[in-house]
Structure 1
Amino acid sequence: MALFGEKYDERVRVLSMGDFSTELCGGTHASRTGDIGLFRIISESGTAAGVRRIEAVTGEGAIATVHADSDRLSEVAHLLKGDSNNLADKVRSVLERTRQLEKELQQLKEQAAAQESANLSSKAIDVNGVKLLVSELSRC
């Protein structure tokens, strides 16, 4: 039996699965699976080597998470001027366009820096045979 630092109420169930596993459980239990209704996993993680933990909601709580996710999906689709059927394509397109714009911006910054450098070098003055240039540069 593994406790994993969990906190339990005064009463706790002991669940056994044959001779494979015996665990403490402070969770809610149903008499039959049909009582549960919709079952939705909301997170999954590893608690120890070879041991996985899931957290789920059931019944009306699961339905509420489905509605909330659907609302968020609709909002994102609206922002991307698409629908939930082509949302992945829209996101890919936006990401690709962002990469292109970032690349163009970097090229423009480099061109501006090269132009500023050329402008500055033409302003250098000769002081006793030494080229002297004093300038304050702005940050890009």
Structure 2
Amino acid sequence: MTITNKTIDEAKEMGAMALFGEKYGDIVRVVEIGDYSIELCGGCHVRNSAEIGLFKIVSESGIGAGTRRIEAVTAKGAYQYVNGKHQLLQTAASQLKTMEEQVPERLEHVFQEIKEQQRQIQSLQAKLSQQEASSILADVKEVNGKHILAKKVDVSDMNQLRQMVDEMKQKLESGIILLAAVNNDKVQLAAGVTKDLVSEGYHAGNLIKETAKICGGGGGGRPDMAQAGGKDASKLSEAFNYVEKYAQNPQ
């Protein structure tokens, strides 16, 4: 690396490159790196890159069309950065009760265990939903010659609620269903209408729209299946009563 002071004209004759559109005086600092680069100043303030010591790139990103930014730490800052990362690795290894070089393998094993536990939880939740679905059949009413089921159930999410509605449609074969659950103070509603009653003009989407409105929410869906959310769980009894009115007149 060679650093010299030249007039601006001499620097230009050498082929020096000006950076970032900066303005220069009559005398400029020219930095030459072998045959590789000749720049005006160039932001280089060391005589040799060995003076920098350790150089660690910490990020790389785009800052504009065709322009990338590389950020790095050097010297003492680089050693501190690397040491900090090593301490994090040591902490992870300690918590995982394994050696540092085995952390990735141990993490993969932990993730697989979590995945299997989640699968088992979902399976148990499905079985509990099936058991509850069987128990609520006793609450089926007959209104205007139609079987209706409007009830609050204990499920943890909308997927389970929809699944329970599907199961009820299969068990009833003919009927109108509105099931509700309350999770985190939020009302979840799912409605279902069997095919024979859809052909008579009953529509799960219309039913869910009105019952959700009663509970301070909104939603919609297909003639045979619909879902919605609400804010006021205290209005569920009123929403369930509406199902009986709807069974008498779907218009």
TM-score (ref. length: structure 1): 0.73
Computed over aligned residues only, the root mean square deviation of the Cα atoms, in angstroms, reads 3.4
From 136, 144, 152, give the equivalent of 1:136.
Answer: 152
Aligned runs of 1:1-80 on 2, under 5 Å?
A: 3=20, 29-47=45-63, 48-49=65-66, 51-80=67-96
Alpha-carbon deviation of 1:128? 8.0
Structure with the larger strand share: 2
Report how many residues are paired: 133
Note the alpha carbon deviations across 1:7-57, whole angstroms, 9 max, x for none.
x9xxxx8878879896886x56321111011111111123332x4321111
The answer on 1:113 being equivalent to 2:118 is no
Classify 1:19/1:62 alpha carbon distance in 2 versus 1 (closer, same or farther; 3 Å). closer
| CA–CA distance in structure 2, aligned partners of residues 129 and 112 of structure 1 | 31
Distance 1:104 1:110 in 2: 10
Letter in 1 for 2:81: T
Distance 1:121 1:107 in 2: 22
Normalised TM-score (structure 2): 0.44
- Which structure's CA Rg is the greater one? 2
Identity %: 28
Aligned partners of 1:120 and 1:28: how far apart in 2? 78
- Partner deviation per Cα, 1:69-110 (whole Å, 9 max, x = no partner): 011111111111112110110111111111111221111111
Q: What is the CA distance between 1:130 and its match in structure 2?
A: 5.1
Distance 1:43 1:23 in 2: 26
Q: Alignment partner of 1:56: what SS? A: strand
Instruction: Give me the whole-angstrom Cα distance separating, in 2, the residues matched to 1:31 and 1:21.
Output: 15
More helix by share: 2
Aligned mate of 1:81, from 77, 80, 97: 97
